[in-house]
Structure 1
């Protein structure tokens, strides 16, 4: 019996944690049924490195933006710079962008400016916006609602661990919620309840590797293969078999990341 296929919709394969091991990491992912992964560029200065990883490995796609924690220390990216990346066949998303007031509330104004730029790039390219939101629920809900009313765009709330109100706003706008290892932690019942209340056709799975490894790997480096552990928790939440939940998340990913779904390897 073949292993059900799933997609790690958000990881960071350019981070030093994976240096010299990418072949093995991607191989272990394939063994676990993780046949695609989206590696995320969090600083535009690192774009060449991230793009090269996607170009060298058929299962890997990439997205790019300026992470909110880095906004104050990085040049403000322009809409045109982001839109230009969409010419690449494996560039499939705008992100991760967003707001983080947990560590960097002092750069709130710059983060909001950056988020608006990323939203416009998502709107112009038709690629999904990949949102990081921490301790910023009120601003995030307001901005996403206001901007979507000005012109539609698609979006995934990556590594969702915010409150139930922002989750409802996101779902009502037609957005997706992505389940990370956080949803598997014993003390994360509130997060699991939020996912359980959301429609299963709006759920993605991810690792955010090298961070947030799910049990039984918690406390160690996360990697795309471990998406399977999070997907099993998701299957249990929705009362589905692993096979059926995996298939549902694949349909969800293909719907949101349509460019990745349509990609055909040239090799």
Structure 2
């Protein structure tokens, strides 16, 4: 599926790889491109209402949805149907868990409000590493605390992203930066079972990894409108097709 035109976020410090890849695909396919900042996005209301595809940060695409009259879809990063593939306890909560010494938390109601991190009860913020300290600060900026996903911490040997469109894997890439090069690959049968359980779906990312127990487990799922591009998982035209497939699905539901 090819979009009629693109609306790309500038400056390119926002989602630089994704925007550069979409721009490359537009050049190959001779698709008109309009580059606008988040603050100027309202001038593209007419283009977006006519089906133009926005590419940028989560905040940028959310505003594009509003301008296009699209209601942000309900989407769970931990679908109940994949329960048997999680291999860890996961629950929703409206407060920072304090009963467990260590618990992994991430936003449930505010997509990408902060990145997931392991919260350690009673630990001074100075004892977190730089990444987790930033996420803790982002969490604390919200009052009241947004609804959270909480889960038991686990150890991943590797993590992979599978790009799924119309229930078929169209690309994949390993994205854990610190994992061993010889880490075992996820079990293809487990991955296919996840896809079967999620069917039918237009376009989404399925993140899967291998635990230190040897089990293949679902890390999370991500809706196709808010999916970044890892490595060389997809060619520019295939990535644009992936984004366009999900956007068209959302647009047709308005």
TM-score computed with the length of structure 2 as normaliser: 0.34
Task: Decide which structure has greater helix share.
Answer: 1
TM-score computed with the length of structure 1 as normaliser: 0.33
Max Rg structure: 2
